[in-house]
């Protein structure tokens, strides 16, 4: 009998390690970046893909879910680029500066980098890595360090392109920036994108990320975001794609003092989706809202995991997440709030709600509070349940047909979270997507 | 043909028999009051007519214009002209009253083969109807009944009734929770809707509502059956003597 003492690497893990070894010479970056990649690859080698033995991933066993790793995406061909022209349509007709990435590679001809307002710098991550941009050395991988995160380590090892954005002190961006990530190759591929956004003191910016995919891609996307003192930043991430898409994203945010940060995640597609957010408050007096709405059907699995770190006191954080689950879908919410010693006067609240439209759907909810200060207000609440039959009867008794009555109630349910988006046009566009989703369900 | 004919209606709720052979005939233009002690089956009658899930008719018929509505969905019944003013109107956070009213009105119009109302047409109708009921239109932008007082909720029910223009109105304990002023506003609203083409069934425990909405016919419901029918003076008699005698009759009869 030969008992196993250490876990054997899966095919996917082996394939990913080999992909790194085979491609590292071609990946962009100077000597410092190479060292960063090497260290990250070694970490991935040691921890591997997240699995159910890792507490943070217990509901989303990526190792089991991923099966085979897809080959690294190649440079997009003309057909992929053509398909990407309409990507990002979920934001409606909101006027935004489009910065487009196809199969993880920046595509200048689809992007609008003309007439950048004063204080705004946008460049491709690949170019910045190769050129040794000072922001890379200062910030990349350092915004919210996360050594234990296998997928983030993998992203650092294999990052190929993305956006590097800098908004100078006091600058106000009138037009939102829309990062359009379109995985449109017809051959399923692994796509690694990495972006770094630094918003300096007192600046105002709105950033929308939309992720579309056309095939059974495996997307690993990471964004590091620095919100300076007194800055006001909105970040919205919209994820859609086919039922065989695996999408894993990491958002690392460090927020300064007296700032405002609003985050919203909208999930309306994909097979396995994991959005993990790590946010840290470095200065006092900041208000942050982290919200999300997910609409799940079929066998979709969507995992929203948050770690909210109140390192400085006097900050307010609000989390509101609404998930609608139909068919055999599964929704996971894990929210951890950490209040460090001395982070007094922290006011942190978390609310998650799941609406189950089918008996086969499953919602898992794991709130965690780690409070090391004594003068704080922290709370969390969670609900899950079916549509209220009495409310449905009330609507139907007024002549509203069953399908429409259910749709109204579902819209009301997700509306509470969507209301948190400040941009009215985007709010309306997402509400329209909700209506479309409901219409498809009713037909 | 009577507008409403309830024949030998038996209804169970959670396996318990509540209505035990109820008969009721209402002609158009008439207002009928149904009075009875608590637990006699008044609200059950209202709910089963509107089609609330869990209220199961095991025997009998409910004919609206000669057509049995018991197999219909609640929305079909509403489109046929049935309206139930709820005893406890529900709160629907996130659905603005305006949206609710408009969706309901247009759904009914669509089912009847009528064109949907344009936004200006709809707004004009709502403003007029709300004005008469002293409802601030600003309140209609909020979630249905959210943050409304008991009286405001009841007024909102009558507003819906005024907009939807049903042919048969069933009012379930519309006076409960109303102070004198609100009772007057609500009753006036109901009285404005009285017409030769419309019938009303007013369910109430107390006679006081019937001072404002004067019925043509009064029925006493006890133990799941109509045990006495008379004119409006029957309501005064009940107020003076109480329901005790009918409760006993009901027991003997069942």
- List residues bridging with A334 in a β-sheet: A305, A366
Question: How does pLDDT run along chain B (254 residues), one tens digit per residue?
Answer: 999 999 999 999 999 999 999 999 999 999 999 999 988 999 999 999 999 999 999 999 999 999 999 999 999 999 999 999 999 999 998 899 999 999 999 999 999 899 999 999 999 999 999 999 999 988 898 899 999 999 999 999 999 999 999 999 999 999 988 999 999 999 999 999 999 999 999 999 888 999 999 999 999 999 999 999 999 999 999 888 888 888 765 444 43
Three-state SS string over A177-222 comes to: EEEEEEECCCCCCEEEEEEEEEECCCCEEEEEEEEEECCCCEEEEE
Structural domain spans, chain B: 4-253
Question: Do B22 and B57 contact (CB within 8 A), yes or no?
Answer: no
Among A397, A404, A416, the residue with its CB nearest the CB of B94 is A416
CA A276 remoteness from chain centre: 6
Question: Do A160 and A27 contact (CB within 8 A), yes or no?
Answer: yes
Confidence of residue A336 (pLDDT cuts 50, 70, 90): very high
Among A402, A408, A416, the residue with its CB nearest the CB of B103 is A408
Contact partners, residue B132, CB within 8 Å, separation at least 6: B162, B189, B192
Q: Which two tokens stand for residue A372?
A: 């090391």
Based on its alpha-carbon atoms, the radius of gyration of chain B, rounded to whole angstroms, reads: 18
Confidence of residue A7 (pLDDT cuts 50, 70, 90): low
- Percentage of chain A surpassing pLDDT 90? 91
Examine the domain organization and report whether A409 and A274 are in the same domain: no
Question: Of the ranges A41-50, A434-443, B233-242, which one carries the lowest mean pLDDT score?
Answer: A434-443
Residue A41: inside a domain: yes
Residue A305: inside a domain: no
Among B94, B95, B107, the residue with its CB nearest the CB of A399 is B107
- Percentage of chain A surpassing pLDDT 70? 98
Confidence of residue A1 (pLDDT cuts 50, 70, 90): very low
Cβ burial, residue A6 (10 Å; 0-12/13-18/19+): exposed
What does the pLDDT read at residue A5?
44
Please name the helix (run of DSSP H) or strand (run of DSSP E) that holds residue B229, with its range, or none: strand B225-230
Question: Do B89 and B156 contact (CB within 8 A), yes or no?
Answer: yes
Tokens 């590097």, residue?
Answer: A164
DSSP three-state, residue A282: coil
Does pTM surpass 0.90?
no
Q: What distance in Å separates residue B149's CA from the closest CA in chain A?
A: 18
Examine the domain organization and report whether A259 and A405 are in the same domain: no
Estimate the share of chain A in helix, then strand, then coil, as percent rounded to the nearest 5. Answer: 25, 35, 35
Of B162, B190, B160, B163, residue with least CA distance to B174: B190
Residue in chain B lying closest to A414 (CA): B94
Q: Which two tokens stand for residue A203?
A: 């600046």
B4-253 is classed CATH 3.40.50.300: yes
Tokens 């695996």, residue?
Answer: A246
Domain end, chosen from A283, A313, A342, is at: A283
Residue A111: inside a domain: yes
Rounded Cα distance, A341 and A357, in Å:
42
Q: Any CB–CB contact under 8 A between B149 and chain A?
A: no
- List residues bridging with A344 in a β-sheet: none
Q: How confident is the model over A398-433, as pLDDT tens digits?
A: 999 999 999 999 999 998 889 889 899 999 999 999
Q: Any CB–CB contact under 8 A between B193 and chain A?
A: no
Query: Under an 8 A CB cutoff, do B53 and A393 touch?
Result: yes
Q: Any CB–CB contact under 8 A between B107 and chain A?
A: yes
DSSP three-state, residue A128: helix
Q: Any CB–CB contact under 8 A between B137 and chain A?
A: no
Confidence of residue A217 (pLDDT cuts 50, 70, 90): very high
Residues of B whose CB is below 8 A from A402 = 73, 75
Of A118, A127, A156, A154, residue with least CA distance to A139: A156
Rounded Cα distance, B20 and B221, in Å:
11
Pairing state between β A301-310 and A272-281: parallel
- Cβ neighbours, 10 Å, residue B67: 10
Cβ burial, residue A63 (10 Å; 0-12/13-18/19+): buried
Structural domain that includes position A40: 11-283
Rounded Cα distance, A159 and A36, in Å:
11
Question: Do A284 and A317 contact (CB within 8 A), yes or no?
Answer: no
The count of domains in chain A is: 2
Q: What is the mean pLDDT of residues A431-436?
A: 92
Q: Any CB–CB contact under 8 A between B92 and chain A?
A: yes
DSSP annotation of A91 reads G
Q: Which two tokens stand for residue A417?
A: 């979270």
Q: What distance in Å separates residue A417's CA from the closest CA in chain B?
A: 10
Examine the domain organization and report whether A74 and A212 are in the same domain: yes
What does the pLDDT read at residue B248?
61
Please report the residues numbered 352 through 391 in chain A whose beta carbons come closer than 8 angstroms to any beta carbon of chain B: 389-391
Torsion angle in degrees (nearest 10) through CA of B42, B44, B49, B55 = -170
Examine the domain organization and report whether A268 and A402 are in the same domain: no
Q: Which two tokens stand for residue A398?
A: 């007024």
Query: Under an 8 A CB cutoff, do B94 and A412 touch?
Result: yes
- Cβ neighbours, 10 Å, residue B131: 11
- Cβ neighbours, 10 Å, residue A341: 11
Rounded Cα distance, A103 and A74, in Å:
8
Residue A362: inside a domain: no
Contact partners, residue B102, CB within 8 Å, separation at least 6: B117, B122
Residue A322: inside a domain: no
Residue A345: inside a domain: no
Residues of A whose CB is below 8 A from B95 = 408-409, 411-412
Residue A4: inside a domain: no
Among B86, B99, B104, the residue with its CB nearest the CB of A399 is B104
Rounded Cα distance, A441 and A433, in Å:
12
Tokens 């006091």, residue?
Answer: A170
Domain end, chosen from A249, A283, A317, is at: A283
Of A404, A399, A405, A439, residue with least CA distance to B109: A399
Examine the domain organization and report whether A275 and A412 are in the same domain: no
Domain end, chosen from A283, A311, A330, is at: A283
Backbone angles phi, psi at B133, to 5 degrees: -95, 10
Residue A343: inside a domain: no
Based on its alpha-carbon atoms, the radius of gyration of chain A, rounded to whole angstroms, reads: 21
Angle between helix A424-442 and helix A402-418 axes, rounded to 10 deg: 150
Confidence of residue A443 (pLDDT cuts 50, 70, 90): low
Q: What distance in Å separates residue B237's CA from the closest CA in chain A?
A: 34
Torsion angle in degrees (nearest 10) through CA of A3, A7, A8, A13 = 170
Query: Under an 8 A CB cutoff, do A408 and B50 touch?
Result: no
Rounded Cα distance, A17 and A69, in Å:
10
> Can you list the pairs that A104-109 forms with residues at least 24 positions away whose Cβ atoms lie under 8 Å?
A104/A73, A104/A160, A104/A161, A104/A162, A104/A181, A104/A183, A104/A191, A104/A192, A104/A193, A105/A73, A105/A75, A105/A76, A105/A160, A105/A161, A106/A161, A106/A162, A106/A163, A107/A76, A107/A81, A109/A81
Tokens 């409802």, residue?
Answer: B135
What does the pLDDT read at residue A67?
86
CB pairs under 8 A between A and B: 76
Of B104, B45, B95, residue with least CA distance to B70: B45
Cβ burial, residue A135 (10 Å; 0-12/13-18/19+): middle
């Amino acid at each position: 009998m030969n008992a196993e003492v250490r876990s054997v690497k899966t095919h996917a893990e082996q394939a990913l390690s080999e992909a790194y070894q085979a491609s590292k010479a071609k990946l962009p970056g100077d000597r410092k970046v190479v060292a960063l990649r090497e260290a990250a690859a070694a970490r991935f080698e040691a921890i591997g893909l997240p699995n159910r033995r890792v507490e943070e991933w217990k509901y989303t066993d990526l190792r089991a879910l991923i099966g085979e790793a897809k080959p690294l995406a190649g440079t997009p061909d003309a057909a992929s680029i053509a398909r990407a022209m309409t990507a990002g349509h979920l934001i409606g007709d909101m006027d935004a500066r489009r910065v487009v990435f196809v199969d993880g590679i920046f595509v200048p001809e689809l992007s609008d980098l003309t007439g950048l307002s004063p204080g705004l710098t946008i460049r491709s991550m690949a170019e910045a890595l190769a050129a040794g941009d000072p922001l890379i050395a200062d910030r990349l991988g350092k915004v919210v360090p996360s050594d234990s995160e296998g997928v983030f380590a993998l992203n650092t090892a294999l990052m190929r392109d993305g956006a590097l954005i800098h908004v100078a002190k006091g600058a106000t961006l009138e037009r939102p920036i829309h990062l359009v990530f379109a995985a449109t190759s017809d051959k399923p591929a692994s796509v690694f994108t990495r972006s770094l956004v630094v918003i300096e003191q007192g600046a105002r910016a709105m950033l929308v990320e939309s992720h579309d995919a056309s095939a059974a891609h495996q997307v690993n996307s990471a964004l590091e975001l620095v919100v300076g003192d007194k800055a006001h930043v909105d970040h919205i991430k919209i994820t859609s794609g086919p039922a065989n898409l695996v999408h894993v994203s990491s958002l690392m945010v460090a927020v300064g003092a007296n700032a405002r940060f609003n985050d919203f995640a909208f999930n309306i597609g994909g097979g396995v989706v994991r959005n993990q957010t790590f946010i840290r408050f470095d200065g006092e007096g900041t208000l942050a809202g982290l919200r999300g709405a997910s609409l799940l059907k079929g066998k979709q699995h969507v995992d929203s995991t948050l770690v909210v770190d109140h390192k400085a006191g006097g900050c307010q954080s609000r989390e509101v997440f609404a998930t609608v689950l139909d068919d055999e879908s599964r929704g996971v919410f894990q929210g951890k709030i950490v209040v460090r010693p001395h982070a007094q006067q922290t006011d942190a609240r978390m609310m998650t709600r799941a609406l189950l439209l089918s008996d086969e759907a499953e919602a898992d909810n794991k709130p965690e509070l780690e409070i090391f200060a004594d003068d704080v207000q922290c709370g969390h609440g969670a609900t899950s349940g079916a549509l209220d039959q009495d409310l449905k009867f009330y609507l139907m008794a007024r002549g509203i047909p069953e399908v429409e009555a259910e749709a109204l109630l579902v819209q009301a349910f997700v509306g509470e979270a969507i209301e948190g988006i400040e941009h009215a046009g985007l709010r309306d566009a997402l509400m329209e997507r909700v209506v479309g989703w409901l219409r498809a369900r009713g037909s | 043909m009577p507008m409403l004919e309830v024949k030998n209606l038996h209804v169970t709720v959670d396996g318990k028999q509540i209505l035990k052979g109820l008969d009721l005939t209402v002609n158009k233009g008439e207002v009928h009051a149904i009075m009875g002690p608590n637990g006699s089956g008044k609200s059950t009658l209202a709910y089963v007519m509107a089609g609330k899930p869990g209220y199961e008719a095991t025997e009998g018929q409910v004919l609206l214009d000669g057509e049995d509505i018991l197999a219909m969905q609640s929305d079909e019944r509403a489109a046929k002209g049935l309206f139930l003013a709820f005893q406890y109107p529900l709160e629907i956070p996130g659905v603005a009253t305006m949206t609710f009213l408009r969706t309901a009105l247009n759904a009914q119009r669509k089912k009847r083969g009528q064109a949907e109302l344009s936004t200006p047409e709809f707004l004009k109708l709502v403003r007029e109807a709300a004005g008469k009921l002293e409802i601030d239109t600003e309140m209609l932008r909020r979630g249905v009944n959210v943050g409304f007082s008991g009286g405001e909720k009841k007024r909102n029910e009558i507003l819906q009734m005024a907009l939807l223009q049903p042919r048969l109105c069933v009012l379930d304990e519309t006076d409960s929770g109303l102070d004198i002023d609100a009772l007057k506003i609500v009753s006036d609203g109901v009285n404005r809707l009285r017409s030769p083409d419309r019938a009303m069934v007013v369910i109430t425990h107390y006679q006081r509502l019937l001072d404002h909405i004067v019925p043509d016919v009064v029925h006493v419901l006890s133990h799941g059956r109509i045990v006495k029918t008379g004119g409006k003076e029957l309501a005064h008699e009940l107020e003076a003597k109480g329901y005790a005698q009918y409760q006993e009759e009901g027991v003997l009869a069942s």
